[in-house]
Amino acid sequence: MADKLTVDEVADQMYKMVADSQGQKKLKPGDLTKAMKEINGDKVDRKLCKDAIRSLIESGRCVYTYFGGSYIELPHKEGASND
Amino acid sequence: MADQLPNTPMLDELEKGKWPSFVKEIKTAAASNDMSKDLLGILEKSYSEKIGHWKHGGIVGVLGYGGGVIGRYCDVPKEFPGVSHFHTMRVNMPAAWFYTSDALRTIADIWEKHGSGLTNMHGSTGDIILLGTTTDELEPTFQELAQEGFDIGGSGSDLRTPSCCNGMARCEWACYDTMKACYDLTMHFQDELHRPAFPYKYKFKFAGCPNDCVASIARADMSFIGVWRDEIQIDQEKVKEHIDKGVDIVNDVILRCPGQCMKWDGKKLEIEDEYCRHCMHCINVLNKGLKPGKDRGCMILIGSKAPIVEGAQLSSVLVPFMKMEEPYDELKDLVERIWDIWCEEGKARERVGEFIQRVGLGNFLEAIEVEPLPEMIAHPRENPYVFYEEYYEEGDDDDEEEEEE
Ligand code: HEM
Ligand code: HEM
Ligand code: SF4
Ligand code: SF4
């Protein structure tokens, strides 16, 4: 069995994906988890991905958003909001 | 300060009559709260124009959580600044909605301080619904609620706030402790409740018996319905008391039994329990004369949903009987296996019931390692061109497969 990545490593990879697709495609937590499994094989698992997402959210690097379903994005000024 | 209220002839119609009126309540709140005043205004505008003025969704929430706050803004903020932001908070209710009046006052006080003061007790999810606040007030509201022992509930693609009937607290028919199971699973799956990671929403509802007072069979992706697997308990004397009081046992009970498994010879009631469908009808009518059996547990059903992406569905049987005992490990394992496959293969906004229809029940069962059972289907299929693997000897396979094509 391959050595697992650390939570921070997974979080960084996820962050990059979110940052790269910001404004083009909204990513769901499940999309990130699937992508991590594709890239890293059994160096990641669902639990590790969950922890990575939690760390992204709790550090404030990413935020949850809702548009018919739940997504993960970079914090930004909201289109719908009224000042 | 009624003179300051907006002119709302259409809403005023809804104050008429003897029944409670939300317009009356919003007007009361509007006396001391500008949000409620503008809420009246925007609603009257929508009624007269026949156009909704709410925008939905977005980024709002409390730190660390992806659920529990539903973002709302109006599209006419200049006209109605008080409802420019009007976010909803869902607060996880206590199991079976038991409160002390102190707890209710605490919630009301917090909400008058931080929001519109308007609530919905309770929403269709079962949560305490706090209606209308601004983005800035979300975090302070959450902190105050948390200090009083409340947490916010689910929304978005997560485990929604589980709910249950009041089961053993008040009801003699409860076949398991719905409140204990609901509380236990809520606490166990906190991560799934607060951090949306599913293709779409997922709901648990716990009903103590097939009367299903929480309508779990129509509203929960996973319904836990209390049931017995031995014989209905009969007290012939108490059955006779019902008849003496005028119950027409033949027309109202025997002929209405969907299992057609009851017999009444004028003196004695008999039930052929093997054919009983556990519908509760006879037990409801002959209360105390009949009771659920003694070997009790729950039936787990899967897949119901309201029409959003596809049409409405009722739940169907997944596990005909499971004992409901702490720590519910068997149950939690099953839930995890379902989430694994649904998270892996489910499409965006595909509820688990739709997922099962798409991949087929057989494939779904194989993935979650559950054996197919007759209870899972409505009736046997007529099609004779069905092949059961276990009927073949090893080595026969090739011939058979060729025939199949
Ligand atoms: C244009 C020609 C045909 C059409 C449109 C047609 C249509 C159908 C349809 C709609 C069914 C019902 C399927 C179901 O309910 O699952 C069926 C069943 C059947 N058809 Fe045909 N059929 C045609 C030709 C034939 C021919 C030529 C034969 C035999 C020589 C045949 C033999 C059968 C049999 C045995 C069944 C029953 C299958 C079962 O119950 O599983 N059909 N057909
Ligand atoms: C010795 C000859 C035959 C035997 C033993 C036989 C046997 C059977 C059996 C056991 C079934 C299934 C019945 C069921 O599902 O209830 C069946 C269905 C059927 N057979 Fe035959 N069969 C014979 C000849 C034929 C022939 C010559 C035809 C047509 C020309 C035919 C057409 C059908 C059709 C259309 C069905 C489907 C009926 C339905 O699904 O309602 N069979 N047959
Ligand atoms: S679902 Fe059954 S056990 Fe629960 S409250 Fe209703 S009748 Fe009682
Ligand atoms: S519970 Fe329903 S199916 Fe069972 S015996 Fe009573 S009426 Fe018949």
Task: Say which CATH number the domain at A54 has.
Answer: 1.10.10.10
Is residue A79 assigned to a domain? no
Of A17, A14, A75, the residue nearest B60 (C-alpha): A75
Q: In angstroms, what CA-CA distances link B333 with A17, B146, B328?
A: 32, 30, 9
B290-291 and B269-271 strand pairing: unpaired
Among the partner residues B84, B158, B346, nearest to A70 by beta-carbon distance? B158
Phi, psi for residue A81 in degrees, rounded to 5: -70, 150
Nearest-angstrom CA–CA distance, B12 and B293:
53
Q: In angstroms, what CA-CA distances link B288 with B46, B183, B242?
A: 52, 29, 9
Show me where the domains of chain B are located.
9-147, 163-225+301-376, 233-291
Nearest-angstrom CA–CA distance, B239 and B243:
7
B163-164 and B316-322 strand pairing: unpaired
Q: For tokens 């009126």, name the residue.
A: B21
Of B295, B298, B299, B236, the residue nearest B271 (C-alpha): B236
Give the model's pLDDT for residue B386.
64
Cross-chain residue pair B73–A80, CB shorter than 8 Å:
yes
Q: Are B187 and B180 in contact (CB under 8 A)?
A: no
Give the model's pLDDT for residue B1.
44
Q: Which residues contact B147 (CB under 8 A, 6 or more apart)?
A: none
Q: How many domains does chain A have?
A: 1
| CATH top class, domain B163-225+301-376 | alpha beta
Domains B9-147 and B163-225+301-376 share a fold: no
Nearest-angstrom CA–CA distance, A27 and A18:
7
Chain A residues within an 8 Å CB radius of B349: 68-69
Give the model's pLDDT for residue A79.
60
Amino acid at B372: P
Is residue A62 assigned to a domain? yes
Most ligand 1 atoms within 8 A of CB, residue of B382, B383, B387 to mutate: B383
CB atoms < 10 A from the CB of B166, how many?
17
**% of chain B at pLDDT higher than 70:** 94
Residue B396 CA to ligand 2 centre (angstroms): 24
CB atoms < 10 A from the CB of A22, how many?
14
Rounded to a whole number, what is the distance in Å from the CA of B220 to chain A's nearest CA? Answer: 18
- In DSSP terms, which residues pair with B222 in a beta bridge? B204, B302
Residue B250 CA to ligand 4 centre (angstroms): 13
Over the stretch B51-85, which tens digit does the pLDDT of each residue have? 999 988 777 889 899 999 999 999 999 999 999 99
B128-131 and B88-91 strand pairing: antiparallel
Amino acid at B402: E
| CATH top class, domain B233-291 | alpha beta
* Residue of B59, B78, B158, B195 to mutate, testing the A interface (most A Cβ within 10 Å of its Cβ): B59
pLDDT above 70 for B311: yes
- Which tokens in the block code for residue B145? 């609620």
Q: Are B54 and B132 in contact (CB under 8 A)?
A: no
Using pLDDT thresholds of 50, 70 and 90, give the confidence band for residue B391.
Answer: low
Query: Average pLDDT over chain B, rounded to whole?
Result: 92
Q: In degrees to the nearest 10, what's the CA dihedral of B34, B35, B36, B37?
A: 50
CB atoms < 10 A from the CB of A52, how many?
25
Phi, psi for residue B223 in degrees, rounded to 5: -105, 135
Over the stretch A58-76, which tens digit does the pLDDT of each residue have? 999 999 998 888 999 999 8
Q: For tokens 């004028």, name the residue.
A: B266
- Which tokens in the block code for residue B100? 């002390």
**ipTM of the complex, rounded to two decimals:** 0.85
Nearest-angstrom CA–CA distance, B102 and A41:
53
Is the domain spanning B9-147 CATH 3.30.70.2500? The answer is yes
Over the stretch A18-48, which tens digit does the pLDDT of each residue have? 999 998 999 999 999 999 999 999 999 988 9
- Crossing angle for the helix pair B101-114 and B135-147, to the nearest 10 degrees: 160
Q: Of how many residues is chain A composed?
A: 83
* Residue of B69, B157, B335, B344 to mutate, testing the A interface (most A Cβ within 10 Å of its Cβ): B157
The boundaries of the domain holding residue A16 are: 7-73
Is residue A83 assigned to a domain? no
Of B70, B55, B186, B75, the residue nearest B130 (C-alpha): B70
Beta strands per DSSP E along chain A: 63-66, 70-73
Instruction: For residue B26, give the H/E element and its range.
Output: helix B22-30
Is residue A68 assigned to a domain? yes
Q: For tokens 């979300």, name the residue.
A: B138
Mean of pLDDT values over B20-24: 95
Cross-chain residue pair A70–B340, CB shorter than 8 Å:
no
Between residues A80 and B137, which one has the greater pLDDT? Answer: B137
pTM for the model stands at 0.80
Q: Are B247 and B269 in contact (CB under 8 A)?
A: no
Is residue A45 assigned to a domain? yes
Chain B residues within an 8 Å CB radius of A22: none
Using pLDDT thresholds of 50, 70 and 90, give the confidence band for residue A1.
Answer: low
